[in-house]
Structure 1
Amino acid sequence: MLATAVVAAVTTPVLLLSVTPALADTAPSGASRTQGQGDRGKPSVEELEKAAEKAQKAYDDAVAADRAARDIVDAALSDEAPLAVAAATARKEAAAAATAKESADKTLADATAARAALPETATDDEKAAADQAVTDAEGAARSAADTKAAADTKATTAGRAADDARVAAVREYSKVRDALKKALAEKKAADKALADAREEGEPELPGCDLENRLLTVVTGLPSKIVAGSTTDFSLRVTNGTDKTLDKVSSRVYFHATDKTGYNVIDDAFHVQWSTAASPGWKNTQGNSVRSLGALKAGTHTDVKLRLKVDATAPAGIGLAFVGGDYVNDDETCGGNMSTEHDFELLAATGDTGNADGGGDGDDTTPGTSTPGTPETEPQGATSTTPVASSTAAAGTTTTLTPTGALASTGSPSALPQLTAAAATATVLGAAVVLTARRRRADSA
């Protein structure tokens, strides 16, 4: 009976909640959250916050009550419980009484058998002694039987009392768990109502795919760059998706340190850009080339880039991060993670001319803007022909990667620290895309 009751109570599909109905009543239900609001409509965020706090408090109280009730039921189910100890003692007494009765019954049987076995020649004294032995054995047997009956009754009563206490404890614990389940449900409902209210005013914005098929490949960036030099290279942005991307942007970010790996010298790097549609050299803004315009499915656009390094920059190592992103008219957006290109920075040696023969970076072709000219937004040109790779100037060390593969420079000792320090740049495109998407939603 006890095992059945314990299993039934413990396996009841209830979870956690309040200790008493009064405790359960402290948890705010859906009805209580809206009661008395009349024509005011939905509850305010502040009201829902208070309801969520109240539900959390009720749940915390229910959890504490559950722990306390668990201790009680564990104690009740223990063999050390007072009623359990009393029942065990009564069972031992009943067992001893049963043994005594068996002994008395055997004595009676032996006495009876002995009297029956007296020969015909037995004297009157022998017969009287045998009769007396049977009489004494019969009395002892009756007394042992009475003692056993009383011990059995006591053991049964004590056992039932112990079992009833255990079943009662399990049932009470089941009620506590029912209350805990209710409190948990109330808490979840209050939390959800608050979360829904907070998000209700937020515009539905499409997500951005940070690893899609908008590809960016750098070409012509050397593995060694001299401080004070100017290096021309290019970036190809390819739409590998099956639809037109309305506004495509690219970005380039240079991060470098001196040879210690700890002194950052990013400010020594200056990048300009140019496209076929907007051929003048223009300064990047926040490491970003402005919108390259629309890019049809399967096509690409090429961006010419020019890197200038301050002549005062110390020798060191660096990483170039390149990437791209897009924002469509339907407010979908996406981008690719940045590609890393490592390089060695050499100190200026006196001749700080163009590292790739492209001039000092301040010259512009006729009809183009100067480096200081305010940036204009080009209409990105598309083509199917790769941009021509730059040619290294005499007297400079320039390793080109015309296939778009990253230059191989080995791994300078401080490169791991440099990579870790520049990790934020890998999500730069995502931040810009999300910002642009938010602004579009706000202006709608």
Structure 2
Amino acid sequence: MKIRRILATAVVAAVTTPVVLLTVTPALADAKPSAGSQVRAQQDERGKPSIEELEKAAEQAQKAYEEALAAQRAGQIVLEAALSDDAPLTVAAAAARKEAAAAATAKEDADKALTDAQAALAALPETATDEEKAAAEKAVADAGTVAASAGAAKTAADEKAATAGRVADDARVAAAREYSKVQKALKEALETKEAADKALADAKEEEPEEPNEPDCVFESKLTTVAHGLPSKIVAGSTTDFSVRVANGTNKTLDKVSPFVYFHATDKGGYNVIDDAFHLQWSTTASPGWKNVGDGYAGSISPLKAGAHADVKLRLKVDAKAPAGDGLAFVAGDYFNNDESCGGNLSTEYAFELLAAGSVPGDVDDAAPGKTTPTPDTKPQGGTSTTPANTTDGSLASTGSSSPLPQLAAAAGAALALGAVTVFTVRRRQTNSAS
């Protein structure tokens, strides 16, 4: 059950560093990284972008696309305005062409008038008077002046029209080029957006989904009791004992897994020596000795209503382990084929760890103590000799030189803080042997 993992650090850290209990409650939400976060961490280690990075890239690509789309729409408006007959430069070019056409007509009229005047002068009879000749010559001269002026006006108008037309054409070409640029930018932004969206979708598809797990429940009628666990254990020795799992419910439990974990410190209470304990399990159905994994000592499948089964356990303690005090936590979880699950709270068994070579003499079995959520992870760091007060959550000293009161007080404090979560805990399948 997840509570084995959630409260593991809470219980052990309460012994080693009781102040942790003041902030343990938020940690109860989930002490184990989600599958998604594990994959993202693995992706980061492999140099691949994480989901968060891909989401940020997709968001930025979407924003860039929207900006490019807005620019394209604005560019289209500019282009349409530049190509419109109502565009100022287009209107100016049209006016210049009209002026040029008028100037051309005026020049044609002036040229015709000059031609007519010249023809009238040439048509004078020999009998024409000097006054008639002078008038005809003056008409030619005047017509020539008008024609010359009309020609100059036409030239100027033509140049003005050409310039206006060129300016208008250049504006239209420039608008078309700018529109082409924003169209290209929009296309590239869309391609980038689609690529970012696809990369994100692919990464999410590859990411394992969080399992849709049922709620596990607290089951007080599932009991786990240690038998033959001595109250004194010598470093370097091998101790055989057993755990009896009893199903006091009125239904068959498809798979029941006993949970056993040893926690101890040296006599000073400053050094955690959990690593010195090595535990193996064996059952009638699986007689060979196998290492306990994740705290789970094999399983009984199934365990009928009212029935019980024994799991043999073999504890080996490193010879170099210092003398100290400890607790054995014993509990049980069940997992049914219909995916329902549950478990009990742990029972504490206090023991004294003797130095290698010690002769313990007559030794009684360790007596069961209170129940508490069980640790299943190995603590890190040092310890403190100040235990937690379980009544009000404050820190207080027991006045005892032995770490045993600290172990019990810490476990009780963890129980007070976290036992309620057993009713809402989510199932997490372990890699325990079956």
| Structure 1 and Structure 2 fold alike (TM over 0.5) | no
For normalisation by structure 1, the TM-score amounts to: 0.38
Q: Which has the higher contact order (CA 8 A, sep 6+)?
A: 2
Larger Rg: 2
The normalised TM-score by structure 2 is 0.39
